[in-house]
Amino acid sequence: MARVTEQYSCQNCGSSYRKWQGKCDACGEWNSIIEDTGREALPKGLSTGKGRHITFASLDQAEETHARHHCGLQELDRVLGGGFVPGSSVLIGGDPGIGKSTILLQAVGQMAKNGYRCTYISGEEATGQISMRAKRLGLAGSPVRLAAANSIRDIVTSIEKEDKPDLLVIDSIQTMYADNLDSAPGSVSQVRACSQELIRLAKKVQCALLLVGHVTKDGQIAGPRVLEHMVDTVLYFEGDRGHQFRILRAVKNRFGATDEIGVFEMTDKGLQEVANPSSLFLSNKDREISGASVFAGVEGTRPLLVEIQGLVAPSQQATPRRAVVGWDNSRLAMILAVLDARCGLSLAGNEVYLNVAGGLRVQEPAADLAVAAALVSSISDIPVPENSIIFGEIGLSGEVRAVGQTDARLKEAAKLGFTTAIIPMGSKVKDADLKIIEVEHLSEIVSLFTSEKQASGAQRV
Ligand code: TYD
Ligand code: MG
């Protein structure tokens, strides 16, 4: 018989140790290490021919055998890659109160109205509370099967025996417990065991499973990281509670593209889909102000115009403040350095503030040029040319680089009434209804404002 060694492993990241310890060195989690015996030191003797034969399939079978379930919320469907796949599991995370329960109740209510069998199990709210909310959302007549339960054993038994749904929602995985484990609901081992059991159930009865996951202080889904590996799709529901809109973002999707976003607006009648989000993120396109530029971005497959606001103000402090909302801090530092070193525009004695209007978080490097334009416009107090959009990546030597999806960006801008586009030299433009200004180096953006200042300055005096 193979020697069985005593071993301890971390429930969070799976690292193994020879001795027990309180904190996992690999992931920094406390109290996640438990004894894990029964593991053979060497998997000897497995090739004895006693295993069962598995059957192999070819790739052309990999077509979706089941049609996807469309939930009726187009934004959610798109983020999922075209609806729920039967037998798959989706994890949706987000801050408390952001609207996870609301969006799922709306999706379930809509699907049940369309004839799908939908089950909503809440471990947080009583059925009375959920139906009150459903009434407010105008979904009271929808034939959703509601339950308030926490025991995975009870849930699995009822779903397997009586009630095979097309869609099963578990709100939330942190409130569920498996009674064969001692630990409390929400602990790493409970979350892992419960999700494993539910995912197995979903595959068995071929229903789409939707798990709600709480997030930790730093915005990660609480519980074991392996949870994100176990499910097919991970969605994050984000948004600033000070703003009314919410963004659903796919960070992992086995059945569709990631980086796809869905935009919703929180109203008194629940979440409403926003079909044209660009209009939401543009605060005042018609009023010309200095220090604001419109960035033509792309989120996933969808173009999105956002306003970028910059403010450069003289500072009395030894280390002037740099504050950024909605963009990367180090990217701003890089642009300030390039402006200084390559264009001779030093902002060392100034405070710099940057804000992406509406609370959106922009991640594309293509926003560089729009940020630089907003900052230079703020310094020179000259507005960015009227009705213009801008995009392009800035390299360390100050060169402006072309970015992808130029046509999609220009088309969206033309649709929303913009007339001028400031874009990188060498961008492949097929046909555009806008006046195109191509720039090759960041200094051209700087001179765009200074030369205009001279011209308009003469008029102003
Ligand atoms: P909820 O879905 O309970 O959040 P989560 O499940 O992510 O914790 O969202 C609750 C918030 O949404 C709450 O602050 C009130 C707001 N809300 C509305 O503004 N309008 C509505 O119609 C509903 C149902 C909720
Ligand atoms: Mg909730």
**pLDDT tens track for 399-441:** 999 998 898 899 888 888 889 999 999 888 887 788 999 999 9
Smallest CA separation from ligand 1 atom 24, residue? 270
**Ligand 1 neighbour 269 (Cβ under 6 A):** yes
Counting atoms of ligand 1 from 1, which one is nearest the CA of 212? 6
pLDDT of residue 456: 47
Which ligand lies nearest the alpha carbon of 125?
2
**Ligand 1 neighbour 270 (Cβ under 6 A):** yes
**pLDDT tens track for 90-103:** 999 988 888 999 99
**Ligand 1 neighbour 69 (Cβ under 6 A):** no
Residue 167's nearest CA partner among 190, 143, 197, 150 is 143
Residue 37 pLDDT grade (very low, low, confident, very high; cuts 50, 70, 90): low
**pLDDT tens track for 333-352:** 999 999 999 999 998 889 99
**Ligand 1 neighbour 153 (Cβ under 6 A):** no
**Ligand 1 neighbour 285 (Cβ under 6 A):** no
**Ligand 1 neighbour 63 (Cβ under 6 A):** no
Q: What are the residues whose beta carbons fall under 8 Å from the beta carbon of 435, sequence distance 6 or more?
A: 419, 420, 421
Using the mean position of ligand 1's atoms as its centre, give its distance from the Cα of residue 90 in Å: 20
**Ligand 1 neighbour 97 (Cβ under 6 A):** yes
Question: Count of CB atoms within 10 A of residue 449's CB?
Answer: 21
Ligand 2 is an ion; residues with CB less than 5 A from it: 101
Asked whether the domain spanning 279-459 has the same topology as the one spanning 74-275, the reply is no
Question: Count of CB atoms within 10 A of residue 182's CB?
Answer: 8
Extents of the domains making up the chain: 3-41, 74-275, 279-459
pLDDT of residue 239: 79
Low-confidence winner among 222-236, 325-339, 374-388 (lowest mean pLDDT): 222-236
Helices (H) and strands (E) counted in the chain, each on its own, are 11, 21
If one residue of 91, 101, 102, 214 were mutated to test the ligand 1 pocket, choosing by the most ligand atoms within 8 A of its CB, it would be 102
Strands (E), 395-460: 400-401, 420-424, 435-439
Residue 88's nearest CA partner among 237, 226, 256 is 256
Q: CATH says 279-459 is which class?
A: alpha beta
Residue 458 pLDDT grade (very low, low, confident, very high; cuts 50, 70, 90): very low
- The CATH number given to 74-275 is 3.40.50.300
Q: How far apart are CA 121 and CA 164, in angstroms?
A: 14
